[in-house]
């Protein structure tokens, strides 16, 4: 018997105790959920978004059927969750305090979503992540959008085809128009596409200006279809 198989056997006999990241309770067998780091009760309170809720106009219909044109480039925007407690806290802890325990929960949620929506990823040739300017990257030490995708293996993210070429102030507190001006000409696409279909991923979407600005560049570079997927969408702010 190999050491590895021996260890696996021991783990089954004496499972490693796991604690829920949110409520800190010991995850007993009855409290187990598909997410290893969260108990069943805490998975149940995650602020998920119904598939029938349209992020463009906030009505109940599929996004594709919406008459509100918020972007000429982006065909579809999907968000896994609302940017609400406890998820917003975990995102903040990951980005600004490098709390990778919080990050692990989030990347596990992305992985679970990718397993439940396997066919979703088959529609795309590229999965691209929103980049950080090198100055922000040096300060943070990692790119959170890449980190969030690290546990899923449905589509390998390509992380160097979009560059943030201009350092811009934080977007928080800015109106949609101010965000648009702030981001103008701040991204560059480093590849010429030949009609490929692209899925663009970001951690948080507020008014969607970042996604729109990048998508405009991707279309100019030859992409034929661009959809966006985000971990969380803020409530109360229209696209």
Residues that bind Zn ion (CB under 5 A): 20, 22-23, 39, 42, 54, 56-57, 66
The rounded distance, in Å, linking the Cα atoms of 217 and 164 is 12
Nearer residue to Zn ion within complex by CB, 25 or 166 = 25
- The number of residues in the chain equals 239
Closest CB to Zn ion among 56 and 232?
A: 56
Tell me whether residue 68 or residue 153 sits nearer to Zn ion (CB atom).
Answer: 68
Nearer to Zn ion, 41 or 118 (CB): 41
Query: Greatest CA separation found in the chain?
Result: 64
Give the shortest CB-25-to-Zn ion separation in angstroms: 5
For Zn ion, the closer of residues 9 and 44 by Cβ is 44
Q: Which residue has the tokens 């030490």?
A: 141
Distance of closest approach, residue 65 Cβ to Zn ion, in angstroms: 7
Distances (CA, A) of 40 to 52, 112, 166, 172, 232: 24, 14, 43, 33, 21
Compute CA 149 distance to the chain's CA centroid, rounded to the nearest angstrom.
Answer: 7
Choose between 53 and 120: whose C-beta lies nearer to Zn ion.
Answer: 53
**List of residues 6+ apart from 112 with CB closer than 8 A:** 34, 35
Sign of CA dihedral 143, 172, 46, 239: negative
Minimum gap (Å) between residue 45 Cβ and Zn ion: 9
The CA distance from 227 to 56, in Å, is: 13
CB of 172 to Zn ion, least distance (A): 26
CA distances from 49 to 38, 65, 82, 93, 157 (A): 19, 17, 6, 22, 24
């Amino acid at each position: 018997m190999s050491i590895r198989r021996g260890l696996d056997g021991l783990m089954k006999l004496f499972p490693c105790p796991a604690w829920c990241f949110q409520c800190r309770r010991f995850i007993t067998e009855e409290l187990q959920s598909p997410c290893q780091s969260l108990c069943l009760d805490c998975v149940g309170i995650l602020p998920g978004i119904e598939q029938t809720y349209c992020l463009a106009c906030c009505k109940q219909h599929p996004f594709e059927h919406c008459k509100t044109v918020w972007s000429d480039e982006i065909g579809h925007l999907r968000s896994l969750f609302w940017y609400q407690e406890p998820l917003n806290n975990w995102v903040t802890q990951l980005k600004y305090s490098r709390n990778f325990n919080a990050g692990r929960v989030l990347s596990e949620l992305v992985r679970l979503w990718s397993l439940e929506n396997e066919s979703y990823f088959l529609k795309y040739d590229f999965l691209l992540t929103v980049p950080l300017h090198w100055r922000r990257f040096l300060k943070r030490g990692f790119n959170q959008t890449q980190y969030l995708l690290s546990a899923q293996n449905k589509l390998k993210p390509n992380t160097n085809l979009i560059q943030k070429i201009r350092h811009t102030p934080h977007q928080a507190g800015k109106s949609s128009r101010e965000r648009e001006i702030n981001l103008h000409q701040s991204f560059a696409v480093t590849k010429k596409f030949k009609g490929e279909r692209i899925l663009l991923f970001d951690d948080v979407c507020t008014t969607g200006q970042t996604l729109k600005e990048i998508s405009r560049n991707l279309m100019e570079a030859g992409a034929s279809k661009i959809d966006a997927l985000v971990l969380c969408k803020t409530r109360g702010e229209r696209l």
